[in-house]
Amino acid sequence: MTHLNEVLEKYPSSIFTRDSDSTIAKKWEVELKLLNEVRSVLESISGITDYRVQNGTVLDLIGKNLKQPRNGMDDFRYKIFLSIARQKRKSKGDIFSMNEIGSQILAGIGTLYEIKELCYGGVPMLLDATYTLNGEYPLSGSTKRPATIEVIFTGSIDELPVVPEFNQAIAQIRPGGVKAIIRYRFEMSTLGGRLYGESIRTPYLDGSWSLNGFTLLSGEKVKIRPYEIAFGIGGLEGGIPRAPKIGDTGLQNEIYRKLVEIRSDSNGNRYFQTTVKQGEMMGYGINEIGLFDEDGELLYLKTFPSKDKDHLIVYDFVIKEEFQ
């Protein structure tokens, strides 16, 4: 609240009188009553546009102003989408803005990510057997592609959450004409699940296994040679991951299979991996994964918290081969 004396002190005493009975003082006394009343009203509603402290109907009104419908969301999720809508208006579509918005959305989750700008040169591509025709490169004779940004999340499959709000935000704030790839890299180990069949055979010729080429003997270790990776949606019991059992012969509810890629690093470690693209397994909550040999026999099974798949994201599943 502003007092009359504070206003009168702003007038130079050499020209105006500061007497409370003067004409200027009487004029300001009337004006201040109105101005203070207006100020009081403005202060009382100053927090009404702050979606972080509001709920219910007030949030709906804020969303209407931001053109962000609730669509059945609870207050907590709705506040996240209001944050996205508000930031979209200020975003320039650059990587800095995306990082700022992403950090706000993921605050408190503890998820780390990186945003990369993918640049492709005009070096000619030749069909020299070094490329796989998997749809990632157009057959235009060049590696040049539309401007692309890639957001990469990496972590343990048991701990890394999928955040749909982040996926939607990046898709909405990316610059026009720029493609966005949102990639989750789920890492796991053969020690984190259960091994089956020939993957647990003895490392010596005892007559208990056949020479079918599905395993490799390396010293005292038996390395597996999986052929396919299978995905399923039956890996939960009572909302928590089901422990794989000795008698399992496959996934509880298999929905998809892909060929496995076997990769080795400089230390000799082997990794079994595959990529699930945007258009694959949309709408499913993946919560079990298995490795199978060329005859369809189960080699490895693991369950984990559900990873919901939509059309915006790419999943990389990486299984590291480890021994006891």
Give the model's pLDDT for residue 7. Answer: 64
In a domain, 236, yes or no: yes
Could you tell me how far CA 219 lies from the centroid of its own chain?
41
In a domain, 232, yes or no: yes
Q: Answer yes or no: are the C-beta atoms of 251 and 288 closer than 8 Å.
A: yes
Looking at residue 6, the DSSP 8-state letter turns out to be H
Residues facing 189 on adjacent strands: 320
In a domain, 151, yes or no: no
* Mean per-residue pLDDT over the chain, rounded: 77
Residues in contact with 110: Cβ distance below 8 Å, sequence separation at least 6, in sequence order: none
In a domain, 233, yes or no: yes
In a domain, 259, yes or no: yes
pTM attached to this predicted model: 0.65
Give the 3-state secondary structure of residue 181: strand
Q: Between residues 59 and 173, which one has the greater pLDDT?
A: 59
Residues in contact with 35: Cβ distance below 8 Å, sequence separation at least 6, in sequence order: 2
Least confident among 20-29, 33-42, 135-144, 258-267:
135-144
- Please work out, in degrees rounded to the nearest 5, the angle formed at the alpha carbon of residue 106 by the alpha carbons of 78 and 160: 115
Least confident among 1-5, 194-198, 212-216, 225-229:
212-216
Tokens of 164: 């749909």
For the residues 99-106, what does the mean pLDDT come to? Answer: 68
Give the model's pLDDT for residue 136. Answer: 61
Identify the residue whose tokens are 């959450």: 161
**Number of structural domains found in the chain:** 2
Please tell me the distance from the alpha carbon of residue 42 to that of residue 109, in angstroms, as a whole number: 36
In a domain, 211, yes or no: yes
Segments forming the whole domain that contains residue 28: 4-44
Residues facing 270 on adjacent strands: 264
Number of CB atoms found within 10 A of residue 283's CB:
8
In a domain, 74, yes or no: no
Residues facing 118 on adjacent strands: 148
